[in-house]
Structure 1
Amino acid sequence: EKLHLTFSLVQTIDDLFSCPQVAARESLRTVTAPDGRTVKMPGRAFRLEGGPPEASRPWPARPGEHTEEVLREWLGS
């Protein structure tokens, strides 16, 4: 502090999963993957008061999952 340096603790992944602050802020969420596995994923990076606590989609789309829908919308077929 005498040298006016900015510093912070660097945590490992294991540290984050057991960190009381991460748990209190609900920064990790448990989701069910499309194959049925249960995994922990990062939650929202920020929250707005009164906003939804979770993303509208619990799991990222698979490559090509929406291709047909998008082409139909864009090409009108």
Structure 2
Amino acid sequence: MGDIPFEIEAFQVSFLPSELRKAWRDGIHLFEIRHWSDALAGRVGRGERKVVVRYDPRDLSVIWVELDDG
């Protein structure tokens, strides 16, 4: 069994719990864990509104961030 196709993963992620968080200079903080991705670099420090962060309570090492540009 290979990787899950994006469409199926996006569907599954849409049912996960979510929180609103701001992208800080050192990443997104969720439950005292700092998450970083290069996709956040353009959003850091620009004072933008908070983003929706989805997470799996069984594995907080991975989060999904809903960005305006997809």
Same fold (TM over 0.5): no
* Rg larger in structure: 1
Q: Quickly name the TM-score band, shorter chain normalised.
A: under 0.3
More strand by share: 2
